[in-house]
Structure 1
Amino acid sequence: MENVQLIELDHELLEGTGSYCLRSKKNSEGYTNKNKWLMNRFEEGLKYVQLFENQKQVGFIEYTEAESSYRVVSADHYLVIHCLWVSVTGKGHGTTLIHKCLEDAQKLGKQGVVVVTNSETSWTPSKDIFLRNNFKIVDTAPFGFELLVHQFNDDSNSPYFPTNWDERLKPFNKLTILRSFQCPYVEIATNNVLEGANHLGIEAEIYDFNNRDELMKMSPTPYGIYSVIYKGQLIAFHRLTVHSVIKRLKQINSLHE
């Protein structure tokens, strides 16, 4: 008989058990930065809940209050899900984790829960499981982003994305990486861009978001923790291979010759 258990990480458990993503490379810079980021976010009320089956980690969910979330969405009085991941589908683990978040939102007196999805990348959760759990799409943004919400009351204010995405890209002519360490894979993604740019002799700048306010003002996509911009164009919001980086930079340069 399967034994399923939910464990909410705190400072002590994080030091012992560690986070879920990139756990096979616990000495990597990305994994270390993620755990440091979590330590600071716990003080803001962030929840990181791991799901164990027969004492083995098989999934997790990360969520926090919208007012301190790392997604570019206006959703006061909601919880925002950053990440949802399970190692095996078809067992209801994802739904179990979502229900945990919904229960916490109700206990906190929130109006509901929101999540940002994008079918072009596995860096955001799949929208299908949320649609099956009574979430609905309430807004969209360029590059395939969708905003889904589970509202406890139909009269509640509906969350929304900003609309000035094109304007956010214009200030960045030089190759620029905007990032936060909410995702441990950001470090790998950054290194791939730097390697590809170096191959072409292009200098890159890195800007690390210090807080949510900066992210809300500057990020060119709703997935606020990683963006690569060059000559006013978005190159990526998720990890690219070095080959893909080189190809994309060449394409942009050819358009400006």
Structure 2
Amino acid sequence: MNLIQITPENLETEHICCAISNERDCQVQAKKAWLAKRLEEGLVFLKGDVRGKCFIEYIPAEHAWAPIEAEGYMYIDCLWVSGQFKGHGYSSLLLDECIRDAKEKGRRGLAVLSSEKKLGYLSDPKYLKYKGFQTTDAAGPHFRLMALPFEGQTELPRFSPRLQQAAAQVPKTGLVLYYTSQCPFTAKYVPLLEAICRDRNVPIQTFHITTTEQAQNAPCPYTAFSLYWNGGFVTHEIPSEKKFEKLLADLGL
């Protein structure tokens, strides 16, 4: 498989490999607008030359949209290989290229958000451990920061000490949603969830994180989507309409 890197020149014409085929879809357009600004900050979006989910996205950790402290590291936003492309070594191909690029750029290692056990939208901890990553920090209820320090590195990435303070400031009444345009799915599903809440008279506040600074001071390690109820964390996984209806029912709403 050949690899294609997204650049400002080909961003508009290249498929960005998420589960959306229509390039004019609001989700694709929102993601590409977000990518355009991040490319200026050193973000790399590398994909297989296929139409499907086979890509890696990473950025210098100083510009990561995550409340972490990992100076000198490269932060992996997403490594996604699925469907017909699984089982062919493509994840290793993409990760190895990320490692090569990070070393060439003088980075100290890689960092990535994972979890205690495999969860949606987070990197698989079992696979990361197999590739040599180690857990360097933890945040409730299930988030794990994992790192692959390069030879000679002793300072390891950690979650920002501001994380707990930000979590304590989440409004304590009703549903509260923080989200970014980093994940394309929020462009479609956030308005749908808001409409469901309006129809049910369920109070919801939504906060669209639009800057790196806001993301690095967010209350949840996964800034693309984090939902709270009465100040308590509910989920980081973007639900379909049906799943959201069930979630509301489980909350007694």
Same fold? TM cut 0.5: yes
Residues 117 and 125 in structure 1, CA contact (< 8 A), matched pair in contact too = yes
Partner of 2:129: 131
Secondary structure, in 3 states, of the residue corresponding to 1:150?
A: strand
Give the drift of 1:120. Answer: 5.3
Which of these residues, 75, 91, 95, is aligned with residue 94 of structure 1? Answer: 91
Residues 108 and 153 in structure 2, CA contact (< 8 A), matched pair in contact too = no
Matched, 1:115 2:137: no
Residues 120 and 144 in structure 1, CA contact (< 8 A), matched pair in contact too = no
When residues 23 and 244 of structure 1 are mapped into structure 2, their CA distance, relative to the original with a 3 A threshold, is: closer
Structure 1, residues 59-118: CA drift from partner, whole Å, max 9, x if none?
110000001011221101000000111132221100010011111111111110011013
Residues 64 and 216 in structure 2, CA contact (< 8 A), matched pair in contact too = no
Give me the whole-angstrom Cα distance separating, in 2, the residues matched to 1:128 and 1:189. 29
Partner of 2:2: 5
Structure 1, residues 168-204: CA drift from partner, whole Å, max 9, x if none?
1443134322111011011233134213312320243
Secondary structure, in 3 states, of the residue corresponding to 2:78?
A: strand
Matched, 1:83 2:81: no
When residues 189 and 57 of structure 1 are mapped into structure 2, their CA distance, relative to the original with a 3 A threshold, is: closer
Query: With structure 1 as the length reference, what TM-score do the two structures score?
Result: 0.87
Query: Any stretches of 5+ residues in structure 2 without a counterpart?
Result: none
Secondary structure, in 3 states, of the residue corresponding to 1:16?
A: coil
Query: Any stretches of 5+ residues in structure 1 without a counterpart?
Result: none
Residues 7 and 49 in structure 1, CA contact (< 8 A), matched pair in contact too = yes
Which of these residues, 119, 138, 141, is aligned with residue 143 of structure 1? Answer: 141
Give the drift of 1:244. Answer: 4.0
Partner of 2:155: 157
Residues 137 and 147 in structure 1, CA contact (< 8 A), matched pair in contact too = yes
Q: Partner letter of residue 171 of structure 1?
A: V
Give me the whole-angstrom Cα distance separating, in 2, the residues matched to 1:25 and 1:177. 27
When residues 223 and 188 of structure 1 are mapped into structure 2, their CA distance, relative to the original with a 3 A threshold, is: same
Q: Superposition RMSD on alpha carbons, in Å? A: 2.2
Give the drift of 1:220. Answer: 2.4
Q: Partner letter of residue 183 of structure 1?
A: C
Structure 1, residues 113-137: CA drift from partner, whole Å, max 9, x if none?
0110134532122222222221111
Give me the whole-angstrom Cα distance separating, in 1, the residues matched to 2:247 and 2:164. 20
Give me the whole-angstrom Cα distance separating, in 2, the residues matched to 1:204 and 1:158. 37
Once the two structures are overlaid, the 10-residue window that deviates more, 201-210 or 91-100, is 201-210
Structure 1, residues 192-235: CA drift from partner, whole Å, max 9, x if none?
42133123202433221121211122x22211121122321222
Give the drift of 1:251. Answer: 5.2
Number of residue-to-residue matches in the alignment: 248
Give me the whole-angstrom Cα distance separating, in 2, the residues matched to 1:232 and 1:252. 13
Partner of 1:68: 63
Matched, 1:232 2:227: no
Partner of 2:195: 195
Matched, 1:26 2:23: yes
When residues 215 and 116 of structure 1 are mapped into structure 2, their CA distance, relative to the original with a 3 A threshold, is: same
Matched, 1:46 2:43: yes
Aligned sequence identity (%)? 23
Residues 176 and 206 in structure 1, CA contact (< 8 A), matched pair in contact too = yes
Q: Partner letter of residue 107 of structure 1?
A: E
When residues 200 and 80 of structure 1 are mapped into structure 2, their CA distance, relative to the original with a 3 A threshold, is: same
Residues 116 and 146 in structure 1, CA contact (< 8 A), matched pair in contact too = yes
Give me the whole-angstrom Cα distance separating, in 2, the residues matched to 1:96 and 1:76. 25
